[in-house]
Copies of this chain bind each other. A is one copy, B any other.
Amino acid sequence: MRLAVIPGDGIGPEVIAEALKVLGEVVPAAEITRYDLGAARWHATGELLPESVLGELRQHDAILLGAVGDPSVPSGILERGLLLRLRFELDHHVNLRPARLYPGVRSPLADPPEIDMVVVREGTEGPYAGNGGLLRKDTPHEIATEVSLNTSFGVERVVRDAFARASNRQRRHLTLVHKTNVLTHAGSLWSRVVEEVSLQHPDVTVAYQHVDAATIHMVTDPGRYDVIVTDNLFGDILTDLAAAVTGGIGLAASGNMDVTRRNPSMFEPVHGSAPDIAGQGIADPTAAVLSVALLLDHLGEHESARRIEASVAFDLATRDHQSPGQTYAIGDRLAALVSSNVRTG
């Protein structure tokens, strides 16, 4: 197993260290190459993602990323030039974001139901296409545009993936989230594709919700969701909200996947670089560790993935949530649990 690791900025390197500690327990022979992409490299060299590095990354089975972003870098530079560039260059069309409320974890909701959903967020088009511009900048007649690009090709492949995932889950329920009553063109395409693909999945029940209504249900009735499929921007918004109601982005893992396997997929915690707490050793590495489980699942190492998940579930059920411990201590606990092959549930 050849893994590229991009620790990145802020708390990225801190949580990645623990994620690799845990990985070492299940795949001790993993071959790991680190890449120093991020704010420091940009400051030092002006480089974001050199072609040569991109070429090397392609030679790996998967990529593990910590976090990208730093207040010293103007907004958008690292995001568009590094993180989104990786997602687009490596055709990460399935942005997989599970959200589960683990036993023991406190939700901000008063009366949380069982929550176990997975958001399949499109990852390579929509409003993230980077298509837009400024006209007459800094004049009273300035116009700024952002063009959401949605293709039959792009929508269909992610919708197929979402249906396949729904088929393999217990509830077999899929919710399309969009804003078809306003974004009528993109909404029409998404709706038609979901309708067509659903014909091949009579086992999956299908629902539709406008994105605004979905945010309401995410706080009043999140248990209703099984698989959500949605576009790149709505997926960005909904997954942070889903993470919040399931105990916070300290626990939210994600996979940026090319499910055709032509390119390496990239796994990362949903939280960012969190500059406010960086360097203090207090970041929760759980999301990074759960991202390793997603990575292992993607590479077919399901048994190892389950071991990591069970360890996280055990730790969350038993930890003191007021003071869960330093970053390294949580990593140590999880590594020990994985090595003792704890099982839950």
Q: Which residues of A contact B (CB under 8 A)?
A: 69, 75-76, 79-80, 84, 106-111, 127-128, 130, 132-134, 136, 138-153, 179-189, 191-192, 211-213, 215-216, 218-220, 233, 236-241, 243-245, 248-249
Task: Give the docked Cα–Cα distance between A345 and B239 (Å).
Answer: 39
Closest 6 pairs between A and B when the two form their complex, measured CB to CB: A142-B152, A212-B240, A144-B189, A215-B241, A79-B181, A146-B148
Count identical subunits in the complex: 2
- Known contacts A109-B108, A240-B213; is A185 also within 8 Å of B133 by CB? yes
Q: By the criterion CB–CB under 8 Å, are B145 and A132 in contact?
A: no
CA of A140 to CA of B216 in the docked complex: distance in angstroms? 34
Q: A69: which B residues are within 8 A, CB to CB?
A: 181
27 sampled A-B residue pairs with Cβ under 8 A: A76-B180, A79-B182, A80-B181, A80-B182, A108-B110, A108-B111, A109-B110, A109-B219, A127-B127, A132-B148, A132-B185, A134-B185, A134-B189, A136-B152, A142-B151, A144-B185, A145-B186, A146-B147, A146-B183, A148-B148, A212-B240, A213-B240, A215-B215, A215-B238, A216-B243, A219-B241, A220-B248
Q: What residues on B are CB-neighbors of A189 within 8 Å?
A: 134, 142, 144
Q: Do A182 and B220 have beta carbons less than 8 Å apart?
A: no
Q: B80, B130, B179, B188: which contacts A144 (Cβ < 8 A)? A: B188
